[in-house]
Structure 1
């Protein structure tokens, strides 16, 4: 949960790098909270079980757009790619796979053009 909150605090920081652990723990808690928001929508009768878009879930997604883009851009910076590579995700099927491969790759060892290695900062 600390990594999720750390990523949220950097919601408007598109500079620097984010290591794999920060990105994937952010994704994990995002998914868990999205499921929780959908559950609350169903519990309060805002959406049926088969419907995804209730007001609580929609508000959650709107709030999380900017932090999600920021952490993804920083993750791309960690592997030495420009944040503009995030737009490859708009290519159907192939774009998702391409980004997934980028997001699971280990970051550049040592500093790169986007900043120092975040693993070295923790040591």
Structure 2
């Protein structure tokens, strides 16, 4: 069971390593949390206070999820033994899809590396 500080580390910190499964599931949760306000926005009439509320909530969710996706990608790259700066490729259209697949499919380094002693734990 995860506690609050582990969730903060998982979604917002850049140190440590995460496994393929944790990266994929974390990204899936972020996508669902981001999609819900967008879905609700599409159900209400345009220009109403309710549509403004859902659009602002979507924008806030997008900004938070952007940081979380970068943090997860950096930790996943660390698990592969690569520098976190390589997460920049996630902002390149089409390349980002390939990068996501690589991060989901390639196994990390076994044992300790320079980014942490074990996977799914802070440094």
Q: Shared fold by TM > 0.5?
A: yes
TM-score category of the 2 structures, normalised to the smaller one: 0.7 to 0.9
Mapped pair 1:24 → 2:24: yes
Aligned to 1:50: none
Q: CA-to-partner distance for each residue in 1:62-99, whole Å, 9 max, x for gaps? A: 12222221111001000111001111234442353145
In structure 1, runs of 5+ residues without a counterpart are 48-52
2:6 and 2:44 map into 1 onto residues whose CA distance is 30
In structure 2, runs of 5+ residues without a counterpart are 48-53
2:22 and 2:5 map into 1 onto residues whose CA distance is 8
Aligned to 1:75: 76
Q: Which has the higher contact order (CA 8 A, sep 6+)?
A: 2
Structure 1: 4+ residue segments shifted above 6 A:
none
Deviates more, 1:9-18 or 1:68-77: 9-18
What TM-score do you get using the length of structure 1 for normalisation? 0.73
2:33 and 2:93 map into 1 onto residues whose CA distance is 26
What TM-score do you get using the length of structure 2 for normalisation? 0.73
Give the aligned CA root-mean-square deviation in angstroms.
2.8
1:98 and 1:85 map into 2 onto residues whose CA distance is 10
2:68 and 2:81 map into 1 onto residues whose CA distance is 20
- Tell me if structure 2 keeps the 8 A contact 1:88–1:99: no
Q: How many residues align?
A: 113
Aligned to 2:8: 9
